[in-house]
Amino acid sequence: MCWSTAADLTAGTVVTAVGVVCLARVRRAGDLPVAALPLLGAHQLVEAAVRHAGGGCGPATTAWAMIALPVLPVWVPLGVLVAAGPGAPRRLRGPAAVGTGTAAVLAYCLATRPVTAEVRGRLVGYGVDVPYVPLVLAGCLYATLGALLLTGDRRLRVLGAVLAAGALVCAALWRLEFASTWCAFAAAASVLVLGWVRRPVVPCGIPEGRDYWFWPPSTKRR
């Protein structure tokens, strides 16, 4: 997640604090799941504990894997679906269904197989025996990034694009064993979520992008 224990602690604290602010600013109950996403900054705090323990297969490693693997693929698409409300586009059902199935597979693997962590300089490598890795990885990406990119909400699409770019950059740096830099993108994403929470709440049935306090035009008889 980050390149050092100090970076994990700092980024995790900041991102989690932004999550608390996001929840305090929520004006629609349906926005709560997406607004709570920055609280996953706690994930970076968990990794700080993994680094401090020198890796291995302790409780911190298991907790990290539980959040990263089964939780995210189901939380993100369902959160986007709930935020879209009763008129949610049918295309959002695909990521939600795939995410639920992928999370079930990953949860089973974590429950029945050991998880290990290895600290390698400025990055941490995690290992768990997962079948059909390319297929499971594709399911995770489609569920998390796909849900954001397929929504009709422009702000959430921007969030999805930022996270997609972050995933590509971090994967490349991780493969080169240079450093884990996901915390920087997590911080940027948390700010985008805060902006989304503070957006004007458009009443149901009013076109997105309209200044809704002037819509529809007055029909008062003269």
CB 199 within 8 A of CB 155: yes
Give the angle 135-127-167 at the CA atoms, nearest 5°. 60
Summarised one tens digit per residue, pLDDT across range 213-222 is 333 344 443 3
pLDDT at 11: 85
Summarised one tens digit per residue, pLDDT across range 172-186 is 766 655 445 666 677
Q: Give the residue carrying structure tokens 């309209």.
A: 210
Q: Give the residue carrying structure tokens 């996001």.
A: 22
Please tell me which residue, 147 or 188, carries the higher pLDDT value.
147
> Could you tell me the residue ranges of all domains in the chain?
5-214
From CA 130, how far away is CA 143, in angstroms rounded? 17
> Which of 185, 191, 183, 189 lies closest to 11, judged by CA?
183
Q: What is the mean pLDDT of residues 63-84?
A: 92
- What is the overall mean pLDDT for the chain? 83
> CA 117 → CA 2, 14, 67, 210, distances in Å?
14, 24, 14, 49
Read off the pTM: 0.82
Summarised one tens digit per residue, pLDDT across range 2-16 is 667 888 888 889 999
pLDDT at 193: 94
In the chain, % of residues over pLDDT 70 = 83
Please state which of the four CATH numbers 1.20.1070, 1.10.3470, 1.10.10, 3.40.1620 is assigned to the domain occupying 5-214. 1.20.1070
pLDDT at 17: 93
Q: Using DSSP bridges, classify how beta strands 115-120 and 123-128 pair: parallel, antiparallel or unpaired.
A: antiparallel
Q: How many CA atoms lie within 13 A of 210 on its CB side?
A: 13
Q: What are φ and ψ of residue 178, in 5° steps?
A: -85, -60
pLDDT at 210: 40
